[in-house]
A = this chain, B = another copy of it.
Amino acid sequence: MKQGVRNHLLEIAGRLFAERGYDGVTVREICHKAGVNVSAVNYYFGDKQNLYLEAVRVAARQRIEEVPMITWSADDPPAVKLRHYIRNLLQRVLLNGGADWQAQLIMSEVVKPTRACRRFVQEFVRPNFEVLLRLLRELVPEELSETGLYRVAFSIVGQCVYYRLCKGIVRNLAGKKLPSLVHLEQLAQHITEFSLAGIYTLIQRARQRRRRAQLMLESAS
């Protein structure tokens, strides 16, 4: 049971794939860096494709294990739930204890899905998104259209994943301010406040529209 090599291979391959993409890495380099023979890839994974797929799987699994989905008590106010959700998402995408490649690899698949693991990634992302939708529905009782709700959800997710997806640009633009900028708690706090404010005004707008429409209707009848 020397699965040590298999795991080591997954780790090294994951790092490299995350850094340079599937085609940017050769089996030879992976094996060399892992200190094993080239044929180890074939022995343990069959071929390169499968090694890649397995690496993504491992990355996702570890990411979920390390930052499990939040479980809130039913009587938490929705606003609190939202803060938890946002911090959770931020943790998953940008707080990675030494294993930066995991989030990176998953994100690469989200941005440009490989045929090999398209379905897998969707099954990884969709549940999280639906939790967010249900949560927002609590915050926004029926005043907002379904489309509006989705836009809000995407606004929130967009703010969070930006720091990961555009890490390079963020680092460059932020300069010395970077460390304080990406401080997890503060960032979560900012995005939550920012988004809650947006949500509340959207509710108000929707209420106004509805009231106005009702007035029109009444005056017409």
Which positions in A face B, CB cutoff 8 Å? Answer: 20-24, 108, 110-113, 121-122, 125-126, 129, 146-148, 150-152, 154-155, 157-163, 165-166, 168-170, 172-174, 177, 180-181, 187, 190-191, 193-198, 200-202, 205
Contact = CB atoms under 8 A, between A and B. Distances in A.
Contacts of A24: 21-23
Contacts of A160: 158
Listed from nearest, the 6 A-B pairs whose CB atoms lie closest are A158-B162, A23-B23, A194-B198, A197-B201, A197-B197, A158-B159
Given A23-B24, A193-B198, A202-B194, A162 B157 contact: yes
- Of the candidates A147, A158, A163, A187, the one having the most CB atoms from chain B within 10 angstroms of its own CB is A158
B21 A151 contact: no
A177 B151 CA distance: 10
A148 B190 CA distance: 8
Nearest to A26: B23
A180 B21 contact: no
